Structure formats: structure tokens, C-alpha cells
Amino acid sequence: MVNEEVCIFYTQFETEIPPAKFEFLLNLLPINLRDSVLKYRRWQDRHTSLLGKLLLRHALAQNNLANSLSELYYEDNGRPYLKALPIDFNISHSGNVVICALTFQYRLGIDLEEVLPIDLYDFKNQFNSEEWDYIITSENPLVEFYHYWTMKESIVKADGGGVSKLTNFKIINGNQTTLSGDQWFTHPVFIENNYKCHVTTQIETPRFKIQKLIF
């Protein structure tokens, strides 16, 4: 992987993975990560947790670093990182899609959302007045909401802050912002129909490698 390349791997699941296959896939993970998958009660949550880690494992394997998955740790704010490696990654999931983005040398964030009907006004306070006016007066407010939401979420995930930071910045020129003193650039990524996805990076024009995996 070249330093300015962002590798994006994603997968889908339609139904529950058969127990024998689930056990096989689970055993591909380091022992210390298996319990973090099994702690979830809903099978959908177990699947997204497992598949997210398998996507990360695959991304690391492309750089001969699969064994580094055992060095997965979490910052105080819950953001995952790999100890002693110049790698940053981020995982997101929505609906039946799980996605992982990974790169070297700089931080990134990714957010994926399935476009589903919601009450937009429940989220009004998460946008500044200019963003909200643009969303609510657009030709398709629901789609525009998810467009902006994934942009903003990917920014705070790159920064490492929580949703409380969503109103702390304004996106300018369509894809730029500054948060916590750092400049960020957002990039739309097409994954599947009826989904919105954005990646945020610290460089303006990264190269993207996108691949769908089947486990």
C-alpha cells in the first residue's frame, strides 16, 4: 500500500451465518478478540462485530500484518488503534453492510448509513443552521440528510470525538473543515444502492482501493 492510498473493504450478510461457519470465522480472530464478539446478544450485532474484525484482518493481511490484530487497543474515547504500527483504520456498519477503511501515516474516519425513513427533526440540533436549511430545503431532504450525516460522522470519527462535536464545525467548499485544530477532507464513496458513505482523511486527494469481500 502506498502512503496516500486508502484501502476500503466491505461485506454484506443477508441471513444468520450457520453456527459451524460462524465458529470457523470466529476462530480466525486472536483469542482476546473473540469474547468481544460473543458478548452481544443479538445475532446481527455479533455478525457486525465479527465481520468488522475480519475485514480489518484482511486489510492487514494485504500488508503481511495479519498477526498485528492481537495488538488491537482502544483509546479512552473508545477509538480503536493498533499498537506500535503507523496504521490508522476505522470501521462502520449499517443495515446488512459492514465496512473497514485503512491507511498508513495519517488518521481517517468512515461512516456508512442505510437510507431509511426517519423523523429528520429529531436530528435538527446536530446541525448548524446553514446545514439544516440546506438539508430541509433540498429536493430530497432524507437523502441529503444522510449525505451530510455521514460526512459529519466520518469527521468526528477521524478526530476521535463523539457526537457532541457534530455542531463544532462547518463544512466549507463542499468537503473541507477544521476540527480540534486539524484540517479534514471528506470524500463520498459509493458502496451499495440505498446507502450513503463518506471517508474523511487528512489529505485532500487520496487514492481509493475498494473491494467487496465474501466470507
DSSP structure class, residue 5 = E
Residue pair 90/101 in contact (Cβ under 8 Å)? The answer is yes
Q: Which three cell numbers stand for residue 66?
A: 495479519
β-pair partners for 98: 11, 93
| Cα radius of gyration rounded to whole Å, the chain | 17
The residues near 112 (Cβ < 8 Å, ≥ 6 apart) are: 10, 92, 93, 94, 97, 99, 150, 191, 195, 196, 197
- Choose among 103, 197, 116, 109: nearest CA to 149: 197
- Residue at grid coordinates 459451524: 20
30 burial type by CB count under 10 A (0-12 exposed, 13-18 middle, 19+ buried) = middle
User: Contact, 88 vs 106, CB < 8 A?
Assistant: yes
DSSP category for residue 17: P
The pLDDT assigned to 74 comes to 86
Q: In 3D, which of 16, 26, 12 has the Cα closest to residue 69?
A: 26
d(CA 212, CA 197): 14
In terms of DSSP bridges, do strands 207-212 and 5-12 run parallel, antiparallel, or are they unpaired?
Answer: parallel
The torsion angles phi and psi of 38, rounded to 5 degrees, stand at -75, -10
Please report, in tens digits, the pLDDT of each residue of the chain (215 residues total): 555 799 999 999 999 999 999 999 999 999 989 999 999 999 999 999 999 999 999 999 998 888 889 888 888 888 888 887 889 999 999 999 999 999 987 899 999 999 999 999 999 998 888 889 999 999 999 999 999 999 999 999 998 876 666 767 777 667 888 888 889 999 999 999 999 999 999 999 899 999 999 99
Place of cell 475480519: 54
- How many helices and strands, by DSSP H and E, does the chain display? 5, 10
**DSSP per position, 166-212:** TTS---BTTTEEEETTEEEEEEE---STTEEEEEEESSSS-EEEEEE
Predicted structure pTM score = 0.93
